[in-house]
A and B are shown apart, each in its own frame.
Chain A
Amino acid sequence: MAAKNVLGIIFSNAYDEVIPQVTSHRTMGSVPFAGRYRLIDFQLSNMVNAGIPQVGILTNSNYRSLMDHIGNGKAWDLARKRDGLTILPPFNHPDTGVFKGKIDALFGSIGYISDSGKDYVLITDCNVVCDIDYDALLEFHIERNAEITLAYARNVKSQLATAMEYEVESYGRISEIRYADPFGDDSSNSLKMMVINRTLLERLLHEASLKRITDFEQLLSENCGNLRVYGYRHNGYAKIIEDLKSYYDANLDLLKPEVRRALFPADKPVYTKTSDKVPAVYGINSVVKNSLIADGCRIDGEVENSILFRGVTVSKGAKVKNSIIMQDTFISENAEVESVITDKDVSIGARKKLCGADNYPVYIGKGINI
Chain B
Amino acid sequence: MARKQECIAMLLAGGQGSRLGILTKNIAKPAVPYGGKYRIIDFPLSNCVNSGIHTVGVLTQYQPLVLNDYIGNGQPWDLDRADGGVHILSPYQQIKGTEWYKGTANSIYQNIKFIERYDPEYVLILSGDHIYKMDYSKMLDYHKANKADCTIAMIEVPWEEASRFGLMIVNPDGSISEFEEKPENPRSNKASMGIYIFNWKKLRQYLIDDEANENSGNDFGHDVIPAMHKAGERMFAYQFDGYWKDVGTIDSLWDSNLDLLNPKVDLDLDDDSWKIYSRSPVAPPHYVGENAKIENSMITEGCEIDGSIDFSVLFANVKVEEGANVKYSIIMPGTVIKKGATVQYSIVAENTVIEEGATVGRSPEEMENIEDWGVAVIGNGIKIGKDVKVAPKAMVDTDMGGEA
Query: Which residues from chain A sit less than 8 Å from chain B, CB to CB?
Result: 34-37, 74, 254-255, 257, 260, 263-264, 269-272, 274, 276-296, 298, 303, 307-309
Contacts and interface: CB of A to CB of B under 8 A. Distances in A.
A280 B283 CA distance: 14
Interface string B294-317: 111111110000000100011000
B289 interface: yes
Contacts of B299: 279-280, 282, 293
Contacts of B292: 288-289
Interface stretch (B158-166, B179-187, B269-277): B269-277
B298 A279 contact: yes
Contact of A289 (B282, B288, B309): B288
Contacts, number: 108
B295 A283 contact: yes
Given A279-B36, A280-B299, A295-B300, 14 more contacts: A37-B284, A274-B76, A274-B280, A276-B277, A276-B278, A278-B35, A281-B260, A283-B296, A285-B295, A289-B291, A290-B289, A290-B290, A293-B286, A307-B285
Contacts of A280: 286, 298-300
27 contacts: A36-B284, A264-B284, A274-B280, A276-B76, A276-B275, A276-B277, A278-B37, A278-B270, A278-B276, A278-B298, A279-B36, A279-B299, A279-B313, A279-B314, A280-B286, A284-B295, A289-B289, A289-B291, A290-B288, A291-B287, A291-B288, A292-B284, A292-B285, A292-B287, A295-B37, A295-B300, A296-B270
A74 B288 contact: no
Contacts of B275: 276
Interface in B231-276: 260-261, 269-270, 275-276
Given A278-B270, A293-B285, A36 B301 contact: yes
A80 to B, nearest CB: 14
Q: Is the interface of B mostly helix, strand, loop or mixed?
A: loop
A369 to B, nearest CB: 20
B171 interface: no
B177 interface: no
B296 A284 contact: yes
Contacts of B36: 278-279
A282 B260 CA distance: 11
Contacts of A293: 285-288, 299
A281 B298 contact: yes
Contacts of A303: 288
Contacts of B309: 282
A283 B283 CA distance: 23
B295 A286 contact: yes
B296 A278 contact: no
Nearest to B46: A276
Contacts of B286: 280, 292-294
B75 interface: yes
Residue among A279, A291, A292 with max Cβ neighbours from chain B (10 Å): A279
Nearest to A255: B287
A269 B37 contact: no
A74 B282 CA distance: 13
Given A295-B301, A296-B270, A282 B285 contact: no
A317 to B, nearest CB: 15
A289 B289 CA distance: 5
Contacts of A291: 287-288
A295 B285 contact: yes
A280 B35 CA distance: 11
Contacts of A289: 288-292
A311 to B, nearest CB: 8
Nearest to A309: B285
B352 to A, nearest CB: 17
A156 to B, nearest CB: 21
B171 to A, nearest CB: 40
A293 B287 CA distance: 6
A269 B282 contact: yes
